[in-house]
Homo-oligomer: A and B are copies of this chain.
């Protein structure tokens, strides 16, 4: 196989290694310090960005996970009183999911801790270095978007 494909493979393996290490640390912190999980955090974050609520399909679309997946996570968040799931008047198939007041303040706490953890893990980057790598990855993401197969 061509040299360039070897270089790309090596790049992918290193990207994956970094991601796994960081995600592992974040998962561990969420578990140890807040008895929570990354999927829950992701759902709460999406709902925090959309205070008017999201339908189940909008939520799974935003998070880019499967439809059925979100069902279970939201179920547990409802049990914990962090979100509500209410029928949509105009469309009896649909459900609107929304943060409760408790969910809003709980997520604020989580988000602040999360940002601090990430910042510590990425301490080897100063603002400029972080922005530079950010930009490179943004280019990659754009390229991946257009790749649609």
A positions within 8 Å CB-CB of B: 1-12, 14-25, 64, 112, 115-116, 118-127, 130-131, 133-134, 136-141, 143-145, 147, 149
Contact = CB atoms under 8 A, between A and B. Distances in A.
A7 B131 CA distance: 6
Contact of A118 (B8, B130, B147): B8
* Copies of this chain present: 2
A149 B32 CA distance: 13
A110 to B, nearest CB: 13
A10 B123 contact: no
Given A64-B24, A112-B1, A133-B136, A127 B18 contact: no
B118 A139 contact: no
Given A22-B12, A139-B124, A7 B134 contact: yes
A11 B130 contact: yes
Interface hub of A7, A8, A20, A116 (most chain B Cβ within 10 A): A8
Given A21-B144, A119-B8, A126-B4, A15 B131 contact: no
